[in-house]
């Protein structure tokens, strides 16, 4: 059961919070109404997409503390996404790095809360994953926008979406992946590497080198996952019979 009214309430509160925080921040950023609108739209699209994909896999009546934390992370991601397309001063870039540290810290908290409250769900796991993926895409766009690396850095953010698209053509790629410490470490490395490349004190070509190492780590992790899915494809198809 998707519990649509519950999701509508969370969407409304999250959207209002995003727009409100963006309006307050705009006194410093100076983009006018464009910034709250962009941030709010990003949050709405991200949240609605997660509900559409995994909303039916939330088994509990309550939304859950862990999902509230993930919603907070999604709001921070949306606030950062609002910067894309807007030139940022060095203080603003440092603010993005500060937001990255906070988002990464909360990333560990929501999973712990889900286990501690016994409310872990496929929905919560997907919400967490999509929030991470969206933020990696936002960071890679900012790194490119500020000429810290070439357009290839967008592969950091687009690789996962390409993988999902490939799963629509090759069903064995869409099989569930086992959670691993490697996968989590690589996700954190994307935050660290892209934020490091974005830092004002890291200039080109050092920033490009940092971004290249970050992309290489992600590509290697995807290669390991694809190889594992290939080896276990027969078992996946057996579950469909």
pLDDT of residue 1: 41
Average pLDDT over residues 33-42: 92
pLDDT in tens, 66-90: 889 999 999 999 999 999 988 888 8
pLDDT in tens, 96-148: 999 999 998 888 888 788 888 888 888 888 888 899 999 999 999 999 999 99
* Neighbour-count burial for 81-103, b at 16+ CB within 10 Å, e otherwise: bbbbeeebeeebbebbbebbeeb
Task: Decide if 104 contacts 188 (C-beta within 8 A).
Answer: yes
Average pLDDT over residues 213-221: 95
Is pLDDT at 27 greater than 90 in this prediction? Answer: no
Predicted confidence band of residue 238 (pLDDT cuts 50, 70, 90): low
Is pLDDT at 166 greater than 90 in this prediction? Answer: yes
Locate tokens 């409250």: which residue?
117
74-77: long-range contacts, CB 8 A cutoff, minimum separation 24? 74/14, 74/43, 74/46, 74/47, 74/127, 74/131, 74/134, 75/14, 75/17, 75/18, 75/21, 75/43, 76/102, 76/103, 76/106, 77/42, 77/43, 77/46, 77/103, 77/131, 77/134, 77/135, 77/138
Q: Is 60 helix (H, G, I), strand (E, B) or coil?
A: coil
Top-confidence residue, 174 or 71? 71
């Amino acid at each position: 059961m998707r519990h649509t009214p519950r999701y509508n309430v969370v969407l409304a509160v999250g959207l209002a919070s995003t727009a409100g925080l963006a309006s307050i921040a705009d006194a410093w950023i100076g983009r006018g109404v464009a910034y709250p609108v962009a941030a709010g739209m990003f949050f709405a699209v991200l949240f609605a997409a997660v509900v559409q994909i995994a909303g039916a896999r939330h088994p509990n009546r309550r939304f859950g503390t862990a999902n509230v934390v993930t919603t907070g992370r999604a709001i921070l991601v949306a606030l950062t996404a609002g910067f894309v397309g807007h030139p940022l001063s060095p203080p603003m870039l440092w603010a993005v790095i500060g937001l990255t540290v906070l988002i990464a810290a909360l990333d560990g908290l929501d999973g712990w809360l889900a286990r501690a409250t016994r409310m872990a769900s496929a929905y919560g796991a997907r919400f967490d994953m999509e929030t991470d993926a969206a933020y990696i895409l936002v960071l890679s766009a900012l790194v490119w926008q500020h000429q810290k690396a070439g357009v290839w850095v967008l592969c950091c953010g687009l690789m996962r979406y390409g993988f999902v698209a490939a799963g629509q053509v090759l069903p064995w790629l869409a099989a569930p992946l086992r959670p691993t410490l490697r996968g989590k470490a690589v996700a954190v490395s994307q935050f660290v590497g892209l934020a490091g490349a974005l830092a004002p004190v890291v200039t080109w070509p050092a920033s490009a080198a940092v971004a290249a190492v970050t992309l290489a780590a992600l590509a290697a992790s995807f290669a390991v996952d694809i190889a594992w899915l290939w080896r276990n494809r027969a078992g996946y198809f057996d579950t469909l019979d």
